[in-house]
Amino acid sequence: MHDNSLILIVEDNPELGARLTRDVRRYGGAEAAELVQEYDEAIARLLNEPAPHAVVMEYRMRAHTGVDLALWMAAQPRLADTHRVLYTATPRALIAQNPALAGHSLDMLFALVVPKGAGSGPRVLAAALSTLPRQVAAGEED
């Protein structure tokens, strides 16, 4: 089961996580947004139904990276329709040097890469999320 209205946010800063959760609901068209703070929490949540429409993750996590989480998600057939979104202040050139990306394109691994920082806050992320295509359930029309 895939929930078009649910966004999962992986952010270890509680204050920013709360703002992201609020703004994704308010400006990004999500009816629900869940917040987890760590890679392991994200994995635990993603193993349960419903699968979210998108997972927003930062690049730098305590023991892992957003690339690690995105690669794990890409290997899960039931998450094939879940969009992976990287929201980070880490420059793309630095992320591209991550050995885990060997053989993978950043733009193929993530539906969106949204820079975090001045001029690109939670509302910019929420607006970007609203551009992601929605899945049409069997029997529904566009």
Q: 93-109 pLDDT, tens per residue?
A: 999 999 999 989 898 99
Q: Which domains does the chain have, with CATH numbers?
A: 2-129 (3.40.50.2300)
Q: Low-confidence residues of the chain, pLDDT below 70?
A: 1-4, 118, 134-142
What pLDDT does residue 139 have? 41
Q: In a 10 Å sphere around its CB, with 0-12 CB exposed, 13-18 middle and 19+ buried, how is residue 71 labelled?
A: middle
What pLDDT does residue 69 have? 97
What pLDDT does residue 111 have? 93
Average pLDDT, the chain: 86
What pLDDT does residue 127 have? 79
In 28-100, DSSP assigns E strands to 32-36, 51-57, 83-88
What pLDDT does residue 95 have? 93
What pLDDT does residue 1 have? 46
Task: Supply the pTM of this predicted model.
Answer: 0.88
Q: Are 89 and 113 in contact (CB under 8 A)?
A: no
What pLDDT does residue 118 have? 66
What pLDDT does residue 28 have? 77
